[in-house]
Amino acid sequence: QVQLVESGGGEVQAGGSLNVSCTSSMNIFSSCAMAWYRQAPGKERELVSSIAYNGPTNYPTTYTDSVKGRFTISFDNVQNVLYLEMNSLKTDDTAVYYCAADCRNLNWRLLLKSFQPVYWGQGTQVTVSS
Q: How confident is the model at residue 92 (pLDDT cuts 50, 70, 90)?
A: very high
**Interacting residues of 130 by C-beta distance below 8 A, sequence separation 6+:** 13, 14, 91
6 contacts 126 by C-beta, under 8 angstroms: no
Q: Is the pLDDT of residue 64 over 90?
A: yes
Q: Is the pLDDT of residue 56 over 90?
A: no
Q: Is the pLDDT of residue 77 over 90?
A: no
- Highest mean pLDDT pick, 26-35, 48-57, 80-89: 80-89
Q: How confident is the model at residue 80 (pLDDT cuts 50, 70, 90)?
A: very high
Long-range contact set of residues 90-94: C-beta below 8 Å, sequence gap at least 24: 90/14, 90/128, 91/14, 91/128, 91/129, 91/130, 92/40, 92/66, 92/128, 93/38, 93/67, 93/126, 93/128, 94/40, 94/126, 94/127, 94/128
